[in-house]
Amino acid sequence: MADKDCSPGASGAARVHSTSGSVPGDGRAGGAAGAGSGSAVGRLLAFAGPRRALTYLGCALSAASMLVSFGPYVCIWFAARDLIAVAPDWAAATGIAAYGWWALGFAVGSIALYFVGLMCTHLAAFRCASNMRKRAIGHLMHTGLGYFDMHASGALRRVVDGCALETEGLLAHKLPDTAGSVAMILGMLALFFVFDWRLGVACLVPVAVSLVCMFYMMGGRGMDFMTRYMGSLVKMNKTGTEYVRGIPVVKVFQQTVYSFRAFHDAIEEFTRLAQDYAVKWCRTPQSLSLTVISAAAAFLVPVAVMLAPGEHDLAHFAANFAFYAIFSAVIPTAMTRVMFMSEAFQSAADAVGRVEEVLAAPVIEAPAAPQVPSDNSIRFEGVGFTYEGAEAPALDRVSFEVPAGATVALVGPSGGGKTTAASLVPRFWDVGAGRVLVGGVDVRDMDPADLMGRVAFVFQANRLFSQSILENVRAARPDATRGEVMAALEAAQCADIIEKLPDGVDTAYGAAGAHLSGGEVQRLMLARAILKDAPIVVLDEATAFADPENEAKIQAAFGRLARGRDGAPRTVLMVAHRLSTVRNADKIVVLDGGRVAEQGTHEELLAAGGLYARMWADYEQAVSWRIQSAEGSAR
């Protein structure tokens, strides 16, 4: 899942590391074993920290509860034995009442032990699920932002929240029930041979048949099914999230679920997978297993009929038969628990594996001796970068410079690598070759906090939080005063946005119809960048969603953003498709196919007659295009 850092020659640099350390400030989590080491349950319990001992205690109490629950059956056998011995003088069986009280005591004791055991396992399970979520979220907080471009939010939410929820059920219920099931089976085997081993063997036949059926369903192909089943759930969750976000488009064009093919295919895949496993693989063995364990008497009665004629003490044999006939009712419960136990362990193994994959994601760590840039210039030196799973590099030997205080624009055909290059400056990704320098220092040799503090960025896809406009802008600098936020909004040409909102800057975005256009959201993002007052600004298609009116205001906001609060010019690296927004840049770098095709000022590139000149000609033709009346012609 994680990219490996293959950057050469950066000594002492902060590299992408894979870690599973605990969440800062949370000493309870402990250290989980690496993926693939140890059993799934053992790796899972590592998340519980010191409370894992409660899991062991709870399992022991559950096992004791199950053994104690055999007491009423033994009391019934004693009662049947005494009654048969004195028949038909029932009054002579004076100890029957005592057996009843003992049976009640065993039943109450079993329930009490099981209740206390579940309390222990629940405490451990809640801590484990909590630490699992904290560890995953804490790890993701230190992961490069590019990781989230490659992993859909729906899939990550499914792993972080859904997998923790599944393991919670395993530790709180399935694990103690498993311990109880093991104790039940061992105790059952012992009791089967205590009174009459021949009748015990007869009762073991359905147990053996049921176990064979379970191993057939759960082993081999069953394990493979569970892996594919969990993967299908993650995929359906991811595509479902994307579909919900795309509902406005679906409704506008009056389409159905079939228009969102990925979601439809994910549902079909999950349905087919579940149906094939249930019908083609499990139907016959499951039916056979349920039949034999529910009809243990069908094996017991014929054996008893064959053995009865040769018995010298028929009364004692009848008492034994009564015990086995009653006790055989435990068999379906025991085997059903074993079946759910296998399923739970398969789910837990897959869930903990997925969480460990998240914990193995590359993180950005500070170098041992971070360096401080001498200025705010940016320089690309032979930069190469390839996305995970891609065959061709997104950037190949890219070199250019953005002097401190200058504005440099990246332009070129779609897919040329412009956004990729811009995202390497704030270190959303680490380069695969070459270096990205800020102030003469490799960004990997800088403290990540220092780097992020120096860079403000505005990208195409920006989202506002479900809180007030004031707090949305203040997210760039939480300690900013209200006056500073208002000044940033004014500088970003947002006065008209604030005026139309019912509560002004205190209006909660998304509430009471407070929705904004794409261009208006972009201006708020520019206000964030202005408020942050970072010396380096990275802009990626900041006018992508703007209409002409919004574009004019965004251009005015650009001018303010290019100057700091002290009036000194900022270093600006901007990506644009609308060439009108970059003609006044100090330098324009043209990227095509991941390489620098040409670079220079607007006038120099036009004079060169290369790719930029052709793009400019196409742009001028596009902006001059008009629709004329029916008598005329369109041009």
DSSP 473-508: HHTT-TT--HHHHHHHHHHTT-HHHHHHSTTGGGPB
Which range, 77-81, 212-216, 366-370, 558-562, is most confident?
366-370
**Does residue 410 fall inside a structural domain?**
yes
User: Cβ(517)–Cβ(545) under 8 Å?
Assistant: yes
Tell me the pLDDT band of 28, cut-offs 50, 70 and 90.
very low
396, 342: one domain: no
**Does residue 1 fall inside a structural domain?**
no
User: What's the rounded Cα separation, in Å, for the pair 408 and 156?
Assistant: 36
470, 619: one domain: yes
**Does residue 270 fall inside a structural domain?**
yes
pLDDT score for 256: 60
Name the domain boundary from 330, 361, 392.
361
Nearest to 522 by CA among 485, 497, 559: 497
User: What's the rounded Cα separation, in Å, for the pair 211 and 226?
Assistant: 19
pLDDT score for 518: 74
256, 391: one domain: no
Tell me the pLDDT tens digit for each residue of 126-184.
Answer: 888 888 888 888 877 777 766 776 666 666 776 776 667 777 777 888 788 888 878 87
Q: Show the domain range for 320.
A: 18-26+33-361
pLDDT at 34 over 50: no
**Does residue 366 fall inside a structural domain?**
no
pLDDT (average), residues 502-517: 76
Tell me the pLDDT tens digit for each residue of 76-105.
Answer: 878 877 787 777 777 777 778 888 899 999
How many other C-beta atoms lie within 10 A of the C-beta of residue 479?
6
225, 350: one domain: yes
* Global pTM exceeds 0.85: no
pLDDT at 218 over 80: no
**332 — phi, psi (to 5°)?**
-60, -40
pLDDT score for 628: 58
pLDDT (average), residues 231-243: 76
pLDDT score for 513: 55
Q: Which long-range contacts (CB under 8 A, 24 or more apart) does 420-424 make?
A: 420/385, 420/387, 420/394, 420/395, 420/594, 421/380, 421/383, 421/395, 421/575, 421/591, 422/457, 422/538, 422/539, 422/540, 422/573, 422/575, 423/145, 423/146, 423/540, 424/380, 424/383, 424/385, 424/395
User: Cβ(185)–Cβ(254) under 8 Å?
Assistant: no
Between 610 and 8, the more confident residue is 610
382, 355: one domain: no
**Does residue 203 fall inside a structural domain?**
yes
330, 424: one domain: no
Between 39 and 68, the more confident residue is 68
pLDDT score for 259: 58
Name the domain boundary from 327, 361, 395.
361
493, 357: one domain: no
pLDDT (average), residues 221-233: 70
Tell me the pLDDT tens digit for each residue of 315-355.
Answer: 777 777 777 777 777 777 777 776 666 666 766 777 777 77
Question: Which value, to the nearest 10 degrees, does the dihedral of the CA atoms of residues 290, 293, 295, 301 take?
Answer: 160
The CATH number of the domain holding residue 548 is 3.40.50.300
Nearest to 363 by CA among 6, 12, 16, 1: 16
User: What's the rounded Cα separation, in Å, for the pair 188 and 435?
Assistant: 69
Which range, 269-278, 500-509, 594-603, is most confident?
594-603
263 CB burial (10 A radius; 0-12, 13-18, 19+): buried
pLDDT at 32 over 50: no
Name the domain boundary from 361, 395, 415.
361
pLDDT score for 384: 93
Of the chain, the percentage scoring pLDDT greater than 90 comes to 14
pLDDT score for 152: 62
pLDDT at 75 over 60: yes
Phi-psi region at 504: left, alpha or beta (left = phi > 0; alpha = psi -120 to 50): left
Q: Which two tokens stand for residue 544?
A: 């992508």
451, 347: one domain: no
The CATH number of the domain holding residue 70 is 1.20.1560.10
Nearest to 170 by CA among 21, 343, 54: 343
Domain total for the chain? Answer: 2
pLDDT score for 397: 92
210, 259: one domain: yes
User: Cβ(521)–Cβ(515) under 8 Å?
Assistant: no
**Does residue 164 fall inside a structural domain?**
yes
Between 105 and 581, the more confident residue is 105
pLDDT at 31 over 60: no
pLDDT score for 462: 66
Residues contacting 395, CB < 8 A, separation 6+: 383, 384, 385, 417, 420, 421, 424, 431, 594, 595
Distances from the Cα of 166 to the Cα of 60, 175, 352, 402, angstroms:
22, 12, 9, 50
pLDDT at 389 over 90: no
User: What's the rounded Cα separation, in Å, for the pair 18 and 411?
Assistant: 35
Q: Which two tokens stand for residue 604?
A: 């120099």
pLDDT score for 634: 47
Tell me the pLDDT band of 550, cut-offs 50, 70 and 90.
low
153, 196: one domain: yes
**Does residue 230 fall inside a structural domain?**
yes
Between 72 and 578, the more confident residue is 72
134, 274: one domain: yes
Tell me the pLDDT tens digit for each residue of 614-631.
Answer: 988 887 877 666 655 555
pLDDT (average), residues 394-420: 90
Residues contacting 260, CB < 8 A, separation 6+: 239, 242, 243, 246, 250
Between 123 and 366, the more confident residue is 123
* Mean pLDDT of the chain, nearest integer: 77
**Does residue 630 fall inside a structural domain?**
no
Tell me the pLDDT band of 400, cut-offs 50, 70 and 90.
very high
331, 393: one domain: no
pLDDT score for 130: 83
